[in-house]
């Protein structure tokens, strides 16, 4: 579905370089980008979101370079939830989520039935129907994050990108949100590409992980194959043990006296 072909990127400052990332993102799966702070996770995700274009190489969507895809058309295929989101003050949940329909709207025409259905669906799957008329600023952190996901869902794209969707949420809301993302993947076949920090959450919720280190992709595969003890030490500099237990699945914890 999505392919990185030797994608390189550098900011004007030049002290960071995304270096020739090549990877395939399978359709209908959950792919998680991992790596320490500053390793290039968000930069990589932004190349798929078309927030910046690769300086070399290309991101392909169904074989076509996304650089040549018009923005409106692209927004019907790929939706993104960034890490930091600011809602306009006083806006209601429903109004903000309706922004997801902009890629479908034509000038001088209001919301169509299809637009309204998409907004209703997005509010329903994110459990926000009851908050429809509430102002976004009055919601809890967990609910607010759901609103941004609902906005992305209203775009009705086959691909959803999320940058650290669980940041700032307490444990309950972290797992609540990851369960929601998983159910969207399972029920609607949504292809998910997200950035996570927590290796145990990556183990539980990913089909594939992409591990970044200093702008390079150093591992790519199912979490239990990509996240070995050696790899975790190499990338994060921490000695962790990786285990499997029937009731838990794969998990990792730091060794004592590491």
Interface residues with Mg ion (CB under 5 A)? Answer: 41-42
Binding range to ligand ADP, per CB under 6 A, among 31-39, 93-101, 151-159, 201-209 = 31-39
Pairing of strands 159-163, 249-254: unpaired
Three-state SS for 165? coil
| 119 phi, psi to nearest 5 deg | -65, -45
Considering CB distances under 5 to 8 angstroms, the limit depending on partner class, which of ligand ADP, Mg ion, none binds residue 251?
A: none
When asked if residue 13 is in the footprint of ligand ADP (CB under 6 A), the reply is: yes
Q: How far is the CB of 77 from ligand ADP (least distance, A)?
A: 23
Q: How far is the CB of 51 from ligand ADP (least distance, A)?
A: 10
As a whole number of angstroms, the distance between CA 17 and CA 212 comes to 12
| Of 39, 35, 61, 36, nearest in space to 50 by CA | 61
Considering CB distances under 5 to 8 angstroms, the limit depending on partner class, which of ligand ADP, Mg ion, none binds residue 32?
A: none
DSSP state letters, 113-138: HHHHHHHHHHHHHTT-GGGTTSBGGG
Considering CB distances under 5 to 8 angstroms, the limit depending on partner class, which of Mg ion, ligand ADP, none binds residue 16?
A: ligand ADP
As a whole number of angstroms, the distance between CA 170 and CA 180 comes to 15
Residue whose CB is less far from ligand ADP, 42 or 92: 42
Q: How far is the CB of 83 from Mg ion (least distance, A)?
A: 6
- The CA distances from residue 246 to 151, 249, 251, in Å, are 37, 6, 11
Site string for ligand ADP, 32-61 (x = CB under 6 A): ---x-xxxxxxx------------------
What residues make contact with ligand ADP under the rule CB under 6 A? 11, 13, 16, 35, 37-43
């Amino acid at each position: 579905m999505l392919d990185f072909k030797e994608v390189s990127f550098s900011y004007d400052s030049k002290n960071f370089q995304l270096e020739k990332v090549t990877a395939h993102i399978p359709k209908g799966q959950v792919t998680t980008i991992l790596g320490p702070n500053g390793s290039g996770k968000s930069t990589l995700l932004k190349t798929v979101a078309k927030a910046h274009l690769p300086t070399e190489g290309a991101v392909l969507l169904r074989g076509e370079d996304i650089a040549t895809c018009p923005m409106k058309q692209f927004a019907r295929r790929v939706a993104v939830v960034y890490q930091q989101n600011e809602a306009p003050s006083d806006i209601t949940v429903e109004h903000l989520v309706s922004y997801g329909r902009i890629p479908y709207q034509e000038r001088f025409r209001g919301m169509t039935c299809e637009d309204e259905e998409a907004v209703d669906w997005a509010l329903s799957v994110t459990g926000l129907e009851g908050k429809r008329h509430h102002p976004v600023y009055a919601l809890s952190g967990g609910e607010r994050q759901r609103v941004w996901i609902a906005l992305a869902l209203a775009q009705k794209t086959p691909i959803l990108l999320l940058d650290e969707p669980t940041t700032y949420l307490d444990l309950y809301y972290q797992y609540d949100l990851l369960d929601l993302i998983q159910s969207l993947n399972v029920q609607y076949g949504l292809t998910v590409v997200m950035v996570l920090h927590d290796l145990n959450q990556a183990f539980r919720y990913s089909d594939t992980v992409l591990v970044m280190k200093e702008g390079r992709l150093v591992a790519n595969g199912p979490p239990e194959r990509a996240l070995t003890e050696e790899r975790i030490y190499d990338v994060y500099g921490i000695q962790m043990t990786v285990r499997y237990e029937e009731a838990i699945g794969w998990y990792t914890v730091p060794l004592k006296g590491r």
